[in-house]
């Protein structure tokens, strides 16, 4: 009987400790008005207590925050072509004639998001092939390995037959020039 009570007390104490730790790790929503009030801002200089750094630029943050409530321009029936407040640039001078070969370096197909994206890409490819925009698409799958993906990209470059590159990186290594130079 005594061991049962001690065991019950020990397990109850352990459970309470776990609950206390989890309560301290909550992710309550923060009201932006509360954080703005706590920051020391100057309306004339737009400075805050968080200085700009390599990873945080206040002007970029403010612009992107304002875009959250912006009105999109373009046809609502084609949301992928819509844009936010920007000057359009005429690129017709760069139009290439004839169907082009696309080379796709895929990080992996190891999660539902990537699988859905790949299926969508295949369906769009069929349309672009029938329209004569794309002649073919060669795909290499790195199976979530940075070194394999770097080798795949190097293969495409060495092959020299890609008109268009699509790179869905596993990590930033595939897109970092210093890392690419080492391989």
**Mean pLDDT of all residues in the chain?**
78
Judge whether 154 and 183 are in contact, CB under 8 Å.
yes
CATH topology of domain 98-182: Rossmann fold (3.40.50)
Q: What is the model's pLDDT at position 165? A: 93
Taking a C-beta distance cutoff of 8 angstroms, is the pair 167, 156 a contact? Answer: no
Full-model pTM:
0.53
Domain ranges of the chain: 98-182
pLDDT tops 90 at residue 133? yes
pLDDT band, residue 6 (cuts 50/70/90): low
Task: Say if strands 83-84 and 72-73 run parallel, antiparallel, or are unpaired.
Answer: antiparallel
pLDDT of residue 50: 65
| Average pLDDT, integer, range 118-133 | 94
Q: According to the per-residue pLDDT averaged within each range, which of 3-12, 29-38, 51-60 is highest?
A: 51-60
Question: What are the angstrom distances between the C-alpha of 126 and each of 98, 132, 168, 178?
Answer: 16, 10, 20, 36
CB–CB of 157/183 below 8 Å?
no
Query: For the ranges 14-23, 66-75, 77-86, which has the lowest average pLDDT?
Result: 14-23
pLDDT at 106 over 70: yes
pLDDT digits (tens, 9 = 90+) for 135-155: 999 999 999 999 999 999 999
The 8-class DSSP code of residue 70 comes to: P
Q: pLDDT value at position 39?
A: 45
Say how far apart CA 154 and CA 180 lie, in whole Å. 9
**pLDDT for res 14:** 53
* Residue 53 to residue 55: CA distance in whole angstroms: 5
Among the residue ranges 78-92, 114-128, 167-181, the one predicted with the least confidence is 167-181
């Amino acid at each position: 009987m005594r061991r049962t009570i001690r065991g019950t007390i020990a397990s109850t104490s352990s459970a309470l400790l776990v609950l206390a730790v989890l309560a301290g790790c909550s992710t309550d929503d923060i009201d932006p008005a509360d954080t703005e009030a706590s920051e020391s801002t100057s309306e004339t200089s737009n400075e805050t207590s968080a200085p700009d750094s390599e990873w945080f630029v206040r002007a970029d943050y403010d612009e992107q925050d304002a875009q959250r409530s912006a009105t999109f321009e373009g046809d609502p029936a084609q949301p992928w072509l819509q844009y936010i407040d920007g000057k359009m640039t005429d690129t017709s001078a760069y139009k290439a004639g004839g169907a082009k070969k696309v080379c796709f370096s895929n990080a992996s197909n190891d999660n539902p998001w990537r699988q859905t994206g790949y299926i969508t890409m295949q369906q769009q490819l069929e349309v672009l092939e029938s329209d004569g925009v794309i002649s073919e698409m060669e795909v290499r799958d790195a199976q979530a390995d940075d070194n394999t993906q770097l080798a795949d990209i190097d293969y495409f470059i060495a092959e020299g037959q890609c008109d268009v590159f699509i790179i869905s990186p596993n990590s930033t290594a595939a897109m970092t020039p210093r890392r690419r130079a080492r391989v």
